[in-house]
A and B are shown apart, each in its own frame.
Chain A
């Protein structure tokens, strides 16, 4: 195991993040504030509470998930796509590193960045609404798992993508709609029964529900099912990456 290499990749990728620290920091703060103004204040004044939680507080876990999932995916996909694009991938391919080490380095860095942004949003939320986190350890665990699994997904997208359009296609076309329709801003129980059934096919529902449980102790689906869903999702991503390792698909000609 080439730990030195993992460390180098991780540090190099984090340096990219720190170079643009202000952007990385300010944009989630601003967008979170906007969400609170629009959803929390404007709409929240009409909706008193959802499942016994004030609407402003109710959307916090969904907001965090929304940002964390999109950030993890785009960070990880960009992280591995960029070396392919500018050609510096030659160095990874000629180095005594296995694909596993490369994945750990890139995915680790992307997940860290997403985690950081998630925490920034959480901190910003406290400025707008009052709430307590019922299961902080479960909350951290869910957040970490989500960052990791969506970074894995982003990593796959980055390897697959042949140009910048493709890089943005999946997050835009699949992840954002799934997250919006996954109960970020409402409880699934608020939907008509037919939509409740359809929603159950959206994997993101399980993640947001589980994450919300860690905050308020209430959930749309049982917590065990949420854990199972995120586990399955992570395993699928790992499986695809393992296949990419073996075949060198889109990486090594």
Chain B
């Protein structure tokens, strides 16, 4: 797959002298959904703002669809839609007019039937004549998405699109994102909800202190970190692992046993382990499984970074 966005050695130092991005390289593949995770102040918004032209990069280059974002800014920006982190909307204007404005700003001829489809997909159609200030926070966020989609972008940046959005609506947004991906739109989103990244992203990037720590296929990442453990609680504690069970990767923990296995292999060995436990005459009172989540991966990566820096 070809790259639709290429960021090379991008740095950004704010006027006060703060270095928010330290030589960032990032390739975004055509048609993928990439989630950027990172703690507050990591530089996610700064990265997106630089790509979209809201801030000037201090050095480095950005190309979008092969167009340099500075020297060919029109061609580059035509492809891009942005949903900002903050809810920035003209309060006194009607929803439909703000969306029309966005489309026009990007040089697209009016097309109300397209805008109707966008508003309907975001469940905003019945609010089209409402003034923005009369909408709820979640609705305003969807208006921002509608504005970003108004000019039919090929690359969509969503900066924390589901912050402050209830669970049901969040699921609806994921559906919208999935539909966009099906239509071939490339999506870059930032989020603090790791389950969101797990649920919808193809690739995951972790950013902290202005540096990209990792960009990896979600599936690979999950596999790599996808160790699962089975905890077996025993009726009576044991001092050492019985002989018949020495083939298993077992450790004694408190009243029970811990069994580590890899979820990606065909045979996890759980069935035979349970049979062998019985053969060894051990009585089980409870079973629990646990998987290291993306959250743990993320926390340990960031902790490493912050500890090391």
Q: Which residues of A contact B (CB under 8 A)?
A: 2, 4-5, 7-9, 11-12, 15-16, 19, 83, 86-88, 90-97, 248, 252-253
* Separation of A88 and B88 alpha carbons in the complex (Å): 5
Min C-beta distance of B46 to chain A, whole Å: 10
Task: Pick out which of these stretches binds chain A: B51-59, B204-212, B250-258.
Answer: B51-59
Across the interface, do A253 and B55 meet the contact criterion of CB distance under 8 Å? Answer: yes
Q: Which residues of B contact A (CB under 8 A)?
A: 14-15, 52-56, 73-78, 80, 82, 84, 86, 88-93, 97, 100-109, 147
Across the interface, do B91 and A86 meet the contact criterion of CB distance under 8 Å? Answer: yes
Q: Given the interface contacts A12-B97, A252-B54, A253-B15, does A97 sit within 8 Å of B90 by beta carbon?
A: no
User: A94 to chain B: which residues have CB within 8 Å?
Assistant: 52-54, 77, 80, 82
* Separation of A95 and B106 alpha carbons in the complex (Å): 6
By beta carbon, the residue of chain B nearest A248 is B56
Select the residue from B75, B84, B104, B105 with max chain A CB neighbours within 10 A: B105
Across the interface, do B88 and A5 meet the contact criterion of CB distance under 8 Å? Answer: no
User: A5 to chain B: which residues have CB within 8 Å?
Assistant: 104-107
* Separation of A248 and B108 alpha carbons in the complex (Å): 25
User: B104 to chain A: which residues have CB within 8 Å?
Assistant: 4-5, 7-9, 11
The count of A-to-B residue pairs whose CB atoms sit within 8 angstroms is: 84
* Separation of A95 and B54 alpha carbons in the complex (Å): 9
Across the interface, do B109 and A8 meet the contact criterion of CB distance under 8 Å? Answer: no
Contact partner of A86 among B15, B88, B100, B105, CB < 8 A?
B88
Other than A90-B88, A95-B77, A96-B75, give 20 A-B pairs with Cβ distance below 8 A. A5-B104, A7-B104, A8-B100, A8-B103, A9-B101, A12-B97, A16-B92, A19-B92, A83-B90, A86-B89, A86-B90, A90-B82, A93-B54, A96-B76, A96-B77, A96-B78, A252-B53, A252-B54, A252-B55, A253-B15
Across the interface, do A90 and B54 meet the contact criterion of CB distance under 8 Å? Answer: yes
Across the interface, do B93 and A9 meet the contact criterion of CB distance under 8 Å? Answer: no
Q: Given the interface contacts A94-B77, A252-B56, A253-B56, does A87 sit within 8 Å of B106 by beta carbon?
A: no
By beta carbon, the residue of chain A nearest B52 is A94
Select the residue from A94, A248, A253 with max chain B CB neighbours within 10 A: A94
User: B56 to chain A: which residues have CB within 8 Å?
Assistant: 248, 252-253
Contact partner of B105 among A15, A91, A252, CB < 8 A?
A91
Across the interface, do A8 and B105 meet the contact criterion of CB distance under 8 Å? Answer: yes
* Separation of A88 and B54 alpha carbons in the complex (Å): 11
By beta carbon, the residue of chain A nearest B88 is A87
8 smallest beta-carbon distances between A and B, as pairs: A8-B104, A87-B88, A96-B74, A96-B77, A95-B105, A94-B52, A2-B107, A4-B107
* Separation of A91 and B90 alpha carbons in the complex (Å): 11
Between-chain CB contacts (< 8 Å), 26 pairs: A2-B74, A4-B106, A4-B107, A4-B109, A5-B107, A8-B100, A9-B104, A12-B93, A15-B93, A16-B93, A19-B92, A86-B88, A86-B91, A88-B89, A90-B82, A93-B52, A93-B53, A94-B53, A96-B74, A96-B75, A96-B77, A96-B78, A96-B107, A97-B107, A252-B53, A253-B55
Across the interface, do B74 and A91 meet the contact criterion of CB distance under 8 Å? Answer: no
Across the interface, do B54 and A9 meet the contact criterion of CB distance under 8 Å? Answer: no
User: B102 to chain A: which residues have CB within 8 Å?
Assistant: 91
